[in-house]
């Protein structure tokens, strides 16, 4: 039996840190409002010239180094992003060229904030099929470019960044089980309802959100999908060493852990440091907790996400 295992992690944040106090100077908001509603203290915003592929490149280099592999070993690249550099080619193809790799398949996955969990699960299936042996899976976003900076209800919530893992074929399970879902009926509560047509933007090119509706939906499905994933492999909530939900909002994270019956000490929180980085948030949090020594070899980690679509999913991973 072939399984896939995470053998390296990496992440990258742009240098431009923007605190809540910085936002107070730009708009009618307050550190107190942002922290009490979301837990966010700061976010990092990409500067001119920085793109999803350039952030992905730095995160990928860190993951490649931590895996101790040569970039040439990578035989599959999947990038999760909703803010690609171009309409085409894919950000994965741009990343492939920047890494100096040729020939292996490279494609993007678009599942908004669930993108990394979708991409990880997809790469796991490619590896389990025996067709590929070493995948680079990345979540990378420049969400600051699709925010309406006049809408204080959304722009304070998000940031830019990237996270990556190297997934290799192994005799022992790394990705133990996963579950993916979508329900397009909920397009109205979170979307960027615009596109390019005949050289012009049509519709609305900014992120629009019904915050309370998203909150309720997210907490419900994160609980359900974690239990579903555990059910697939016959494990219990008590078997989970660490919970890494999509880093959207501290209150969503804490509610999810509480509903699952997991103590707060098992919850990895990085949203305070970088805001909601959409598809980058789960691998950013994973890399942070691996590097600071909390997540160690053998630990079981529940990765889970929910995002526009709506999409949601989880992967139970043994490190
Ligand atoms: N600063 C100050 N005041 C603000 C701000 C701001 N940045 N934004 C909104 N407000 C005001 C509103 O204008 C409103 O004022 P009013 O009552 O005078 O009209 C008031 O604050 C609304 O406050 P609350 O009702 O307390 O807001 P709520 O508790 O619903 O919190 C929030 C809003 C934080 C968006 C919440 O609904 C939420 O967390 N939703 C989840 C959204 C989320 O995480 N989305 C991430 C993207 S989706 C994903 O990743 C899955």
Domain of 138, CATH number, reads 3.40.47.10
Give the residue from 155, 171, 187 where a domain finishes: 171
Taking CA atoms only, the protein residue closest to ligand 1 atom 7 is: 152
Residues 167 and 208 in one domain: no
pTM comes to 0.97
Residues 165 and 268 in one domain: no
Give the residue from 123, 155, 171 where a domain finishes: 171
Backbone angles phi and psi of 107, in degrees to 5: -155, 160
Number of domains composing the chain: 2
**Whether 233 is catalytic:** no
Residues 105 and 252 in one domain: no
End-to-end CA distance of the chain: 18
Give the residue from 171, 187, 220 where a domain finishes: 171
The model's pLDDT over 237-257, given as tens digits with 9 standing for 90+, comes to 999 999 999 999 999 999 999
Residues 20 and 161 in one domain: yes
**Whether 299 is catalytic:** no
Strand spans (E) along 96-143: 106-109, 134-142
Ligand 1 close to Cβ of residue 211 (< 6 A): yes
Q: How long, in residues, is the chain?
A: 319
The model's pLDDT over 186-200, given as tens digits with 9 standing for 90+, comes to 999 999 999 999 999
Residues 126 and 210 in one domain: no
Question: Apex CA 35: angle with CA 17 and CA 143, to 5°?
Answer: 45
Domain of 287? 176-318
Residues 52 and 78 in one domain: yes
Residues 166 and 191 in one domain: no
Ligand 1 close to Cβ of residue 306 (< 6 A): yes
Residues 143 and 185 in one domain: no
Residues 148 and 19 in one domain: yes
Taking CA atoms only, the protein residue closest to ligand 1 atom 20 is: 153
How many angstroms separate the alpha carbon of residue 33 from the centre of ligand 1?
A: 9
pLDDT at 200: 96
pLDDT at 137: 98
Mean of pLDDT values over 271-278: 98
């Amino acid at each position: 039996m072939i399984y896939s295992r995470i053998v390296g992690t990496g992440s990258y944040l742009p240098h431009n840190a923007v605190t809540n106090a910085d936002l107070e100077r730009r708009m009618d908001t307050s550190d107190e409002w942002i922290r009490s509603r979301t837990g966010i203290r700061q976010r990092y915003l990409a500067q001119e010239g920085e793109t999803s592929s350039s952030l992905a490149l730095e995160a990928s280099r860190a993951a490649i180094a931590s895996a101790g592999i040569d970039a040439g070993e990578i035989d599959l690249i999947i990038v999760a992003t909703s803010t690609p550099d171009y309409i085409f080619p894919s950000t994965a193809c741009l990343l492939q060229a920047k890494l100096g790799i040729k020939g292996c398949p490279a494609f993007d996955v678009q599942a908004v904030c669930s993108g990394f969990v979708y991409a990880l699960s997809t790469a796991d299936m490619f590896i389990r099929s025996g067709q590929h042996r070493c995948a680079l899976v990345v979540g990378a976003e420049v969400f600051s470019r699709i925010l309406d900076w006049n809408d204080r209800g959304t722009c304070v919530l998000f940031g830019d960044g990237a996270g990556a893992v190297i997934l290799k074929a192994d005799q022992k399970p790394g990705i133990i089980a996963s579950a993916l879902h979508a329900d397009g009926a909920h397009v109205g509560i979170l979307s960027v309802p615009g596109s390019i047509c005949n050289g012009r933007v049509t519709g609305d090119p900014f992120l629009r959100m019904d915050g309370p509706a998203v909150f309720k939906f997210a907490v419900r499905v994160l609980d359900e999908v974690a239990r579903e994933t555990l059910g697939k492999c016959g494990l219990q909530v008590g078997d989970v060493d660490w919970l890494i939900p999509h880093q959207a909002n501290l209150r969503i994270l804490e509610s999810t852990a509480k509903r699952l019956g997991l103590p707060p000490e098992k919850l990895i929180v990085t949203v305070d440091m970088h805001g909601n980085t959409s598809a980058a948030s789960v691998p950013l949090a994973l890399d942070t907790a691996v590097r600071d020594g909390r997540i160690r070899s053998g630990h079981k980690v529940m990765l889970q996400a929910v995002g526009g679509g709506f999409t949601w999913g989880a992967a139970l991973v043994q490190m």
